[in-house]
Structure 1
């Protein structure tokens, strides 16, 4: 596939969210984007639930969440949307699980988690949901791996993760669930572990070379990119925003040695990231500047080079993001106050 020039990328302003928010969860199914929950200007979890139609460029309100919450784990099972855990209006983790039937337009409560948790990582395969990690009511990270069987409406415990954590990134590749990074208490972890669904066992992969918080992970072809982030301060070490890019080769099973010339142009954390048309994209976030970043960059794997993209129309950090077709959407987030902006970075011939 020919990699597009940076001149082929442009930002589009889309219909804004009906209300300002942060920490909402996004899900694409059937070509529509669903926005689920989030926090309002006062930091209170919301029960809002909307669907975005790309064809009409319009958000439509749907029946609200039965349980208001933010930072939920979400997945699609056919024409059902499953909402798991998160933070409730009491500012405590939840064990509540609810499912929305798209055809019926109704919510239904499902069997709850074994323990209340926020920051769960979720993947789904063959109508089975796998929920990894999380942080419980005691604020300790979990090592749980739970499997939900929709036909039986039941959660079953599987082999625990070697490293307890919450807010990890997970993705499915074949019959394996890859779980990277995350946090324990305030601090980032660099563990990289893989669960084999067929053998029901964990394998520890080489740790992420650079430990940092608020970084992003992007998969492209047979490589996994660990991008930017914040190196946290401990003892005599000051916090530091990073340009670091670490690359894991799925075929070789190891992290590649990266020259500093391959690093991001701008130091950034808590930014939007994704892959579009053979390029890795980053946009916005926080850096060394006193305000949020507006800059965006695209990595060309063939040239091992980051190139400057058009700036975000509305600079933000802490956005929710999702890729739809050949567009990377940045939804909500923070710019001084909360934002309801929805903007898409698209390849011009998409």
Structure 2
């Protein structure tokens, strides 16, 4: 199955994203009152109280896009009490977004200097405003000036002015994670709470989730797409050998990590991309290394089931991975060994669907349900969407694993041969045709096509097979809105064969 294996991922830090993708940043004006060196914030009177040097800078910011997307903050009554010193979180959003805007204009003003004009202490602000040469110069600040304006900014108890730490983190957690790279560059305190994962833990605690799509159309290259802001990001290249590059690979997004499974010579290997550090590393090992398995994630945990060991034996074993502490736990074995299967979470339970098993490596039509609470497996007949008549004569290993995804606890499948999308009826245990797949979602027996759930919608990623058309398309459909109506989310110049795909929600 190409939506989790070959045969996905954003750069956290804005410097690399700007270089590769030329992102557009939000443009806003912070509401600041610098009168008498105070940090009082006022929405209505900012123009009268802003220092002239800063006002000149703000005037230039009003030219261009002023209607950019703003992270919206919806607070209940109890949360609003935490933000009374600042009236509401919109002020903080403006300040942060204003700093983000200037990160793209560092040739005229140091981002560190700007961040201190918003978040720094009184003495640092006074020194900054007194230095007119730096504020009005196009020259790069000297090392002495950088050190002078950067300060320490390491007190994590005062992330935002006049707000306690918990309230500051709550406010920052509601900003889009597209901006976390720029937030990390503001000061050491921001960088620490992002790289430590504390901000993502806070988001998880409060049910704040953004789903991003990670996929690979080149052997060691990964792209990430933010469907909310329509932004592309390019991940650092994986530093692996040729054996891993050419091997079959599976992928899985869990927590703030992207895991890519493959082989190097005679052993299985896992490469782990961390959203917190924007880097790859290897060395992690399962209890029972495998490939061609079925897998799915639920928050910070993931389950991998079946597959083959290094000698090609089909496995019935399963493992649970916890991304919080990076540990593997062996689970009870399935009823049937299987490889080239698919996995999903639905109704809080893990399901493994289809695959190949038995001594003769026959196609399996059954599925199995794993209950996390009771730690037991139950076989479910006819759970695999099966093949169309056009694919019935193919060898079992020629076809991709079932292309399945779950949205709102409903199971869907993509029938690549008949170009249809189907839904599984839990009561009758039958598959019902819902409509058509996007017409340009071509594949090779299911290989090269990605079919994933992304929040409340289904995503199909594929490209045309026509010679010379080197691009990939992302189409989406929201099942709750009615019969399949696929909308084109994005198109990107790329190879048109999807090797791996995963969706990270954090």
TM over 0.5: yes
Aligned counterpart, 2:281: 108
Aligned counterpart, 2:253: 75
- Structure 2 stretches of 5 or more lacking a match? 11-208, 388-398, 477-485, 490-506
The reply on whether 1:335 has 2:447 as its aligned counterpart is: no
The reply on whether 1:200 has 2:375 as its aligned counterpart is: yes
Residues 1:316 and 1:181: Cα distance change in structure 2 (over 3 Å): closer
Counterpart CA distance in 1 for 2:221 and 2:307 is: 23
User: Following TM superposition, by how much is the alpha carbon of 1:148 offset from its aligned partner in structure 2, in angstroms?
Assistant: 2.2
Counterpart CA distance in 2 for 1:323 and 1:246 is: 14
Aligned counterpart, 1:18: none
Counterpart CA distance in 1 for 2:355 and 2:468 is: 24
Aligned counterpart, 2:234: 60
Residue number among 187, 192, 217 corresponding to 2:404 in the alignment: 217
Counterpart CA distance in 2 for 1:25 and 1:74 is: 15
User: Following TM superposition, by how much is the alpha carbon of 1:196 offset from its aligned partner in structure 2, in angstroms?
Assistant: 0.5
The reply on whether 1:98 has 2:228 as its aligned counterpart is: no
Q: Which structure has the larger Rg over C-alpha atoms?
A: 2
Residues 1:337 and 1:118: Cα distance change in structure 2 (over 3 Å): farther
Counterpart CA distance in 2 for 1:349 and 1:178 is: 30
| 8 Å CA contact 1:179, 1:192 repeated in 2 | yes
Counterpart CA distance in 1 for 2:413 and 2:230 is: 35
- 1:280-291 to structure 2, matched below 5 A, reads 280=434, 282-283=436-437
The reply on whether 1:249 has 2:451 as its aligned counterpart is: no
Question: Please, what TM-score do these two structures have when normalized by structure 2?
Answer: 0.42
- Structure 1 stretches of 5 or more lacking a match? 1-21, 41-45, 230-240, 264-279, 284-295, 297-310
| Higher relative helix content | 2
| 8 Å CA contact 2:224, 2:233 repeated in 1 | yes
| Larger CA deviation: 143-152 vs 25-34 | 25-34
| 8 Å CA contact 1:95, 1:113 repeated in 2 | no
Aligned counterpart, 2:297: 124
Residues 1:57 and 1:144: Cα distance change in structure 2 (over 3 Å): same
| Larger CA deviation: 106-115 vs 126-135 | 106-115
Residue number among 365, 372, 378 corresponding to 1:190 in the alignment: 365
The secondary structure found in structure 1 opposite 2:459 is strand
Show CA shifts across 1:54-104 (max 9, x none): 545545242425453543131221x22233x33x365x7x53223222131
Counterpart CA distance in 2 for 1:31 and 1:247 is: 22
Counterpart CA distance in 1 for 2:294 and 2:468 is: 25
Aligned counterpart, 1:35: 215
Counterpart CA distance in 2 for 1:72 and 1:209 is: 20
| Larger CA deviation: 179-188 vs 207-216 | 207-216
Aligned counterpart, 2:83: none
Show CA shifts across 1:240-266 (max 9, x none): x6799986433x3x424x7xxx66xxx
The reply on whether 1:160 has 2:340 as its aligned counterpart is: no
Alignment: residue pair count: 256
The secondary structure found in structure 2 opposite 1:335 is coil
Residues 1:329 and 1:74: Cα distance change in structure 2 (over 3 Å): same
User: Following TM superposition, by how much is the alpha carbon of 1:208 offset from its aligned partner in structure 2, in angstroms?
Assistant: 3.5
- 1:134-145 to structure 2, matched below 5 A, reads 134-145=307-318
Counterpart CA distance in 2 for 1:219 and 1:129 is: 15
Residues 1:244 and 1:108: Cα distance change in structure 2 (over 3 Å): closer
Counterpart CA distance in 2 for 1:316 and 1:336 is: 12
Residues 1:321 and 1:167: Cα distance change in structure 2 (over 3 Å): same
Q: Cα RMSD (Å) of the superposition?
A: 4.0
Counterpart CA distance in 2 for 1:58 and 1:152 is: 29
The secondary structure found in structure 1 opposite 2:268 is coil
| 8 Å CA contact 2:251, 2:258 repeated in 1 | no
| Larger CA deviation: 125-134 vs 138-147 | 125-134
Counterpart CA distance in 2 for 1:195 and 1:137 is: 25
Question: Please, what TM-score do these two structures have when normalized by structure 1?
Answer: 0.59
